[in-house]
Amino acid sequence: MIEYENLRKSNEPFYAEYQNIFSGILESGWFVLGNSVKNFEEEFARFVTMPHAIGVANGLDALILALRVLNFEAGSEILVPSNTYIATILSILQCRLKPVLIEPDIQTYNINPQKIEEAITKKTKAIMVVHLYGKACEMDTVTTLARKYHLEVIEDCAQSHGAMFKGKMTGSFGIGAFSFYPTKNLGCLGDGGAVTTSDEDFARNIRMYRNYGSEKKYYNETIGVNSRLDEIQAGFLSVKLKHLQRITEHKRKLASLYQQGLKEDFITPQVHPDYFDVFHIYNVRHPKRDGLKEFLLKNEIKTEIHYPVPPHKQKAMEGIFGKQEFPIADEIHATTLSLPISFGTTESEVLKVIEVMNKF
């Protein structure tokens, strides 16, 4: 059986280093907000080419904390792609703001820059882009419009660690929100997240907000929450970050095998020199997606669907988007299939997947 992803296999190359880090933290007796978090924050900020990175509990919290600290008036509108993972939209709703869905570009699966301006109203406060599947959004238009209309840019980078647009890192265009959930390209062994920013005050406020609104122990300046990255996860993340380039190269190599080997019946991801893709997910589209998934499973190949139900059709979102229709999101969700592309997936496994796919 070729697995979609086996997290034990993906992490095995780092076991010795993880164990070393774990022992050190265990011996130190310091488990929350210590040197290990501080070091990782510095390393990660350098990686994203931003002055500040602040560790938080998970990716959803990274988005929520960014919005909370921006402190928009309730009911303000946040533009967000209609085909994103539900967490992006949850962050907006959790802050009592209004998500305004923008359809993606069917070629890139990312927010269609041509559809942003028409959605901007007096209530619009931010564009929340999502660098989905590990491909950066077209950021020229996004940043130009943000400047023109005085909007904040928040980047959901949960799938895009190291992905670039025109040589610039995702998470360095606006406010970056990262997840370190185990399956992500930079994944820890539990939950974790980070916010990146170039604004010193904003960084300070996120730091306070994640820790009860307190900078100095037992003195509270704002009404904060507890959303901290812990020492052990930060330690594991420092290990993984050192190897992230190797992880990315491996995924890019597997993606290039798919690109070269798959027959033309499958719609494969767009490749373009302006985009450095990190392939958190390698998807193809096919009108008979469900049949294809079943065919692959019969041939001992496991796949995933990212995602089976678009946000506007989720039960939780009933009544939120009224009668609006999002045919491009619907089309992507009905036809997309994700193929194995993890750090633990081998080239020969990918060649096997290609061989079976081409018989479909």
Ligand X SMILES: *Cc1c(COP(=O)(O)O)cnc(C)c1O
Q: Which residues bind ligand X (CB under 6 A)?
A: 58-60, 84-85, 87-88, 130, 156, 158-159, 179, 181, 191, 193
Q: How far is the CB of 307 from ligand X (least distance, A)?
A: 9
Q: How far is the CB of 110 from ligand X (least distance, A)?
A: 11
Give the Å distances, CA to CA, from 4 to 11, 19, 187, 297.
Answer: 15, 26, 16, 11
Could you report how far apart the first and last alpha carbons of the chain are, in Å? 18
Q: How far is the CB of 207 from ligand X (least distance, A)?
A: 19
Q: Which is nearer to ligand X, 103 or 257 (CB)?
A: 103
Q: What is the biggest distance separating any 2 CA atoms in the chain, rounded to whole angstroms?
A: 66
Q: How far is the CB of 86 from ligand X (least distance, A)?
A: 8
Asked if residues 1 and 341 have their Cβ atoms less than 8 Å apart, the reply is: no
Q: Which is nearer to ligand X, 104 or 257 (CB)?
A: 104
Q: Which is nearer to ligand X, 132 or 357 (CB)?
A: 132
The SS3 of residue 60 is helix
Residue nearest to ligand X (CB): 59
Q: Which is nearer to ligand X, 2 or 60 (CB)?
A: 60
Q: Which is nearer to ligand X, 59 or 113 (CB)?
A: 59
Per DSSP, which regions of the chain are E strands? 52-56, 77-81, 98-102, 124-130, 152-156, 164-165, 168-169, 175-179, 193-197, 214-216, 219-220, 275-276, 282-285, 336-339
Q: What single letter denotes the amino acid at residue 27?
A: E
* φ, ψ for residue 288, nearest 5 deg: -105, 50
Asked if residues 36 and 42 have their Cβ atoms less than 8 Å apart, the reply is: no
Q: How far is the CB of 67 from ligand X (least distance, A)?
A: 13
Q: Which is nearer to ligand X, 180 or 275 (CB)?
A: 180
Burial (CB < 10 A; 0-12, 13-18, 19+), residue 122, is exposed
Q: How far is the CB of 180 from ligand X (least distance, A)?
A: 7
What is the distance between the alpha carbons of residues 135 and 225, in angstroms, rounded to a whole number? 32
* Residue 72 structure tokens: 């928009």
Closest CA to 90 of 316, 305, 319: 316
Q: Which is nearer to ligand X, 92 or 257 (CB)?
A: 92
Q: How far is the CB of 183 from ligand X (least distance, A)?
A: 8
Ordered DSSP codes for 183-195: TSSS--SS--EEE
Q: How far is the CB of 191 from ligand X (least distance, A)?
A: 6
Q: Which is nearer to ligand X, 68 or 357 (CB)?
A: 68
Closest CA to 130 of 118, 142, 145, 148: 142
Q: How far is the CB of 158 from ligand X (least distance, A)?
A: 3
The bridge status of strand 214-216 relative to strand 168-169 is unpaired
Burial (CB < 10 A; 0-12, 13-18, 19+), residue 311, is buried
Q: Which is nearer to ligand X, 60 or 203 (CB)?
A: 60
